[in-house]
Amino acid sequence: MKKAGARFYTFLVFLFLYAPILVLIVFSFNDSETASRTVWGGFSLRWYRKLFEDRLILEALCNTLLIAVVSAAVSTVLGTMAAIGINSMKRLPRRIMMNITNFPMVNPEIVTGVSLMLLFVSAVRLFGGRSLGMGSLFAAHITFCLPYVILSVLPKLRQMDPNLYEAAQDLGCPPVKAFFKVVLPEIMPGIVTGLIMAFTLSIDDFVISYFTSGTTQTLPIYIYSMTRKRISPEINALSTVMFAVVMVLLIIINARNAGERKTEKKRSSMEV
Amino acid sequence: MKKGHLMGLCMGLAFCLILCLSPAQTVLAGEDFGPDRNGQTVEDGAVGRGVTINVYNWGEYIANGTDGSLDVNEEFTRRTGIRVNYTTFDSNEALYSKLVGGGADYDVIIPSDYMVSKLIDERMLAELDFSNIPNFRYIDERFRDPDYDPGSRYSVPYTWGVVGLFYNTDYIEEEITSWSALWDDRYAGKILMFDNPRDSLAIAQFMLGQSLNTTDENDWAEAAALLKQQKPLVQAYVMDRIFDKMESSEAWIAPYYSGDAAILVENSDSIRFVVPEEGTNYFVDAMCIPVTSGHKAEAEAYINFLCDPEIAGANMNYVGYSTPESAAKEYMDDEMVESPVYYPDEEILERTEVFVNLPENTSKLVDRLWAEVKMGGPGESMVLVAIILGFLGVYLAILIYKRQKRKRELA
């Protein structure tokens, strides 16, 4: 009885989380002249066809993906380096550094956005440029992704046995090689988490991009600009495609992890 | 010790990189304006070949090649060799803040009437060279020399429309002819209103017989009082959600822009459009060039291209707004040209007024009055204060309880 109640509660939670996505997916197949989001007019793939004809949406999507990939990669590398540095600090400086790192995360996005815009505009003027664009978006996204990467790598470093690195050097490994052979594999899960986090944060960021985009347009900004007329169901179609892609990716990753764990278990049991 | 060195180095490097990176990136941004500005060859003869112009327009406001429409920007590039970096905004105010904030270098912008006059007042628009825009001759007489741009020196109309009432005849049987229907308590809870100050206040102003551009504070206060009186009957203050709400009969009556909502009338037998007899607001979205534009000649070529009757006709067919060029109508669907929603009678147009920019203190007053209408009077802010105090009380209670618990545990 108690179990059934718990199950029901879990079901409700998931329903609450996924119902909006479900509605969105259903209405991406809606056949309606008026692009309605509430009245069902039959099944059709028209919005998908329209989506792939719409150069503006695809261009915005391309921009968004490019920015997400680049800023996730760069901020992961920088963030990992910063985390290693912070980890080896003494207590007080480490505390100070952590506070500085946390600050952009608790800072309201709009403040970050506006201040970055002001900074970029004055920098562009200083160097004789004319307009913000892709470059300022990269800089802004790397900036706000960085703390999240640091925060996901740092715990892994703290868990790691510091003697491992020294042991490797004692055994004749040069520092750089020791880092790549010993430290990096240990903290890899943290790095991957940071990378994924940075990627998703960058893809759905609206506020900061809005202020720093100049004449470049990302997908969230494009969608927002549709609100005067109405958000076209093409966006439903696009979200459905993205949802499906992410879902498939997650399934693949999980399946692979599960596979690896199995082989590992086998190996360890054989060794025993 | 050694380890400390390495780690410190790593961290130093990381932060140095960030420092170096940010200005470098912005310089880069300054050099290439849009995503596709590199690798252009300048061909002889044609002006501006290989240049990219930045166009800033409302969202979903141009034919883009979907559903068999003309891809206007691509066609422009094909004909002139000028590339278009096309981006979109959601409101005049967003456009304004982008222009003022700097960091965005636009060549063609398409604001609405009152924003055009505001930008003119603030000297942010460049005077157009009409020898580069010969197609201006197609613009109908009534759209030249508008109140927002006396003499038509800074802007060329792109689209226009009127605000009218949409209502569902399944639920509202009488014929509606007046804005006062929005104050009719038989429709309580089924009425929608605009979610922006000037459009909403304009309706009250028409009922009171005022000018939309009055600077008399009492007039504005009176209009706001009328809206406050209406508030209990209003289901919601919305913009684009009106489509869903009207379609699903969640709401019965709503004011909206003719061009956007015409599709409602086309697709439903029971939804009707009327321009009330008190008169209405007529609006124009017009093409302008900011003074900061670095490619004025190319921008003028773009404006000229959009004024070409054939292009304008194909464009309006998709956008669903009214064109200011009678010559373009022969390239448009008959259904659209003959629809009174898109092209109301002359007699209705007589009773319209266009928004112009309000002086600073009046627009502040308007914003304040609107905030009062939407949030209610001081009575409701007391409720808010009470709620916040309540939360604070609960929070303090929890804190005190925890502290005492800890004390008891220690004791």
Q: DSSP string of B275-314? A: --TT-EEEEEEEEB-BTT-S-HHHHHHHHHHHHSHHHHHH
CA gap A231, B239 in Å, rounded: 11
* Site from A24, A52, A56, A122 to mutate, B interface, most B CB atoms within 10 angstroms: A56
Determine, for residues B6 and A175 on separate chains, whether the beta-carbon distance falls below 8 Å.
Answer: yes
Least confident window among A58-72, A216-230, B39-53, B304-318: B39-53
Q: What percent of chain B has pLDDT over 70?
A: 87
Bigger pLDDT: B101 or A84? A84
| Predicted pLDDT of residue B336 | 87
pLDDT band at B47 (very low <50, low <70, confident <90, very high): low
| Predicted pLDDT of residue A21 | 92
Phi, psi of B86 (to 5 degrees): -100, 120
- Per residue in A245-267, pLDDT tens? 888 888 887 887 787 777 777 77
CB A233 within 8 A of CB A27: yes
CB pairs under 8 A between A and B: 212
CB-based burial label for A3 (10 Å; 0-12, 13-18, 19+): exposed
| Predicted pLDDT of residue A162 | 84
pLDDT above 80 for A91:
yes
Instruction: Spell out where chain A has E strands.
Output: none
What letter would DSSP give residue B177? Answer: -
CA gap B286, B269 in Å, rounded: 33
Structure tokens that stand for A197 in this block: 């986090």
Nearest CB to A121: which of B64, B74, B102?
A: B102
Q: What percent of chain A has pLDDT over 70?
A: 96
| Predicted pLDDT of residue B5 | 46
- Per residue in B142-197, pLDDT tens? 999 999 999 999 999 999 999 999 999 999 989 999 999 999 999 999 999 998 88
CA nearest A226 in B: which residue? Answer: B59
CA nearest A132 in B: which residue? Answer: B103
Residue ranges of B 5-64 with Cβ closer than 8 A to chain A = 6-8, 10-15, 17-18, 21-23, 25-35, 54, 56, 58-61, 64
| Predicted pLDDT of residue A60 | 93
CA gap B333, B214 in Å, rounded: 39
| Predicted pLDDT of residue B283 | 92
pLDDT band at B12 (very low <50, low <70, confident <90, very high): very low
Q: What is the pTM of this model?
A: 0.81
Mean pLDDT, all residues of chain B = 85
Q: How many CB atoms lie within 10 A of CB A107?
A: 13
The residues near A80 (Cβ < 8 Å, ≥ 6 apart) are: A149, A153, A187, A191, A194
The residues near B307 (Cβ < 8 Å, ≥ 6 apart) are: B133, B135, B136, B138, B139, B156, B325
Least confident window among A12-26, A250-264, B272-286: A250-264
**Taking Cα atoms as reference points, which of A71, A77, A212 lies closest to residue A133?**
A212
Cα–Cα distances (Å) from B7 to A154, A179, B202, in that order, read 13, 10, 65
- Per residue in B14-40, pLDDT tens? 443 443 333 333 333 333 333 333 333
Complete domains list, chain A, with CATH:
1-44+234-272 (no CATH), 54-231 (1.10.3720.10)
Structure tokens that stand for A237 in this block: 């179609």
Phi, psi of A38 (to 5 degrees): -130, -20
* Mean pLDDT in residue range A84-103: 92
pLDDT band at B9 (very low <50, low <70, confident <90, very high): very low
CB B118 within 8 A of CB B357: yes
pLDDT above 50 for A54:
yes
- Per residue in B301-343, pLDDT tens? 999 999 999 999 999 988 888 999 999 999 998 888 888 888 9
* Mean pLDDT in residue range B128-151: 93
Buried b (16+ CB within 10 A) or exposed e, B267-299: bbeebbbbbbebbbbbbbbbbbbbeebebbebb
Buried b (16+ CB within 10 A) or exposed e, B209-234: ebebbeeeeebbeebbebbbebeebb
| Predicted pLDDT of residue B327 | 92
**Taking Cα atoms as reference points, which of B122, B109, B91 lies closest to residue B155?**
B109
Nearest CB to A214: which of B14, B90, B104?
A: B104
Bigger pLDDT: A36 or B400? B400
pLDDT above 50 for A100:
yes
Q: CA-CA-CA-CA torsion for B12, B17, B18, B20, nearest 10 degrees? A: 120
| Predicted pLDDT of residue B95 | 92
CA nearest B29 in A: which residue? Answer: A135
Nearest CB to A34: which of B60, B86, B247?
A: B247
pLDDT above 60 for A56:
yes
pLDDT above 50 for B129:
yes
| Predicted pLDDT of residue B15 | 43
Least confident window among A162-171, B41-50, B291-300, B378-387: B41-50
Determine, for residues B101 and A211 on separate chains, whether the beta-carbon distance falls below 8 Å.
Answer: yes
pLDDT above 80 for A19:
yes
CA gap B246, B405 in Å, rounded: 56
What letter would DSSP give residue B249? Answer: T
CA gap B381, B202 in Å, rounded: 26
Structure tokens that stand for A98 in this block: 């952590």
Nearest CB to A129: which of B13, B21, B29?
A: B29
Model ipTM over 0.85: no
* Mean pLDDT in residue range A87-113: 92
| Predicted pLDDT of residue A40 | 81
